[in-house]
Structure 1
């Protein structure tokens, strides 16, 4: 699973399979990550992400400034960076920082920022929650955790899945996917779960990464059995153990599959529109679910 998902780029096989642009007699399913022309094994030049054709390597060598049309791009069209796991590291750092605050401050901090639809106290009635206008809980709950095992499991999953996925999508697209999946998980939990059921954790966003990784591996024709096995194990844990907010997991997974599909299958000429438009649609669904549930509770 730690194989860099950005390499190589696979084209369509079967009848009419493309041929190498330098060797027309050789069929190939591999394409240059810059210009997307078909290249055979003899013409492949290994790059930081995937393989490039000799022409693109020659255009970008020596000056350090390749032409805009031939700058290296990820599978999803993102910019290739020196540290392809930077956003993943920042997300892990934020989660750990919030967890340390939870340990230092205690329950009052967690109760103020956890995902809860409508909190009650016997003597006071409704005292807070998303239904009381605290929409920020949909986001802040993604950075809180319920214990050492909870955060350790989530951060290991984020590193194993998030790092390779960030390298394949690029920073901006990866962060958009992460936030969209996490918010979708929180919104579905708010919509379906009991109003006073609290939930915390990055699991919704991480399930979204699982879904996007499965889509990416299918697009690249990698062996999908490892990621499918991990996903099945996580789903068994989700529905087999008590005290787990399955709604957040399923919401994040569905949003991850939808957003991930748009990220890696968007046509090149309308790539940004399709990718970020899909993220916007997911966020619109989050708003709709939140508004509908709020109307039911108030």
Structure 2
């Protein structure tokens, strides 16, 4: 299910939204990482800084999900998107997948704004990634008897991810948990048995 065996061209064709998100995040990381002043200014203009959001820079509720603090930060999030995103895009549908990803990332940033403190700052796609996990959690909730193997894979991943959120320093705990919850709630709507029947 989560083992990627497609060729590069097949992956792009089958999962265009996952591919686009991967490309955007990697491109933004490259552009904002260039050793020039303009790149540094571009990066800091998108960081989620709460007191600047309070001053009216509302775009900082959106842009942090496309910025990363370092190469390992980017690789971890993009690896998770690369592995888990395609199956969600296939099961939920392209538009629904994108909705889950973007809304989970947005509300993770909104929660970080309201709960993170005046001087709190953050970047990263982790809230959106946790939204993917949450959506799979909702799918498990509805299909635990039909697809026990999905439960055996997803639940340990969610549990380990949440535990690591609290153990690793410098992690936006608020964003991770908010993204997970939002993804789960949206997933409950999208994957409700009555709605799935209506897709057919």
Fold match by TM threshold 0.5: yes
Correspondence list, 1:243-258, <5 A: 243-258=170-185
Corresponding position of 2:16: 86
Q: Deviations over 1:82-124 (max 9, x none)?
A: 9331100000000001101111144322211011111xxxxxx
Corresponding position of 1:283: none
TM-score (norm 1): 0.58
- Structure label with greater radius of gyration: 1
C-alpha contact (below 8 Å) 1:113/1:137 kept by paired residues = yes
Corresponding position of 1:165: 88
Deviation at 1:270, TM superposition (A): 10
Deviation at 1:267, TM superposition (A): 3.0
Separation in 1 of the partners of 2:198 and 2:186? 13
Q: Deviations over 1:169-213 (max 9, x none)?
A: 111111111111011100010011122121000000000000101
C-alpha contact (below 8 Å) 1:84/1:171 kept by paired residues = no
2:162 matched to 1:230? no
2:91 matched to 1:181? no
Corresponding position of 2:43: 110
Of residues 103, 120, 137, the one that matches 1:214 is 137
Structure 1: unaligned runs, 5 residues or longer = 5-81, 119-128, 273-298
2:7 matched to 1:2? no
Corresponding position of 2:64: 141
Aligned length: 185
Q: Which has the higher helix share?
A: 2
CA RMSD in angstroms, aligned pairs only: 2.2
Separation in 1 of the partners of 2:187 and 2:196? 18
Corresponding position of 2:168: 241
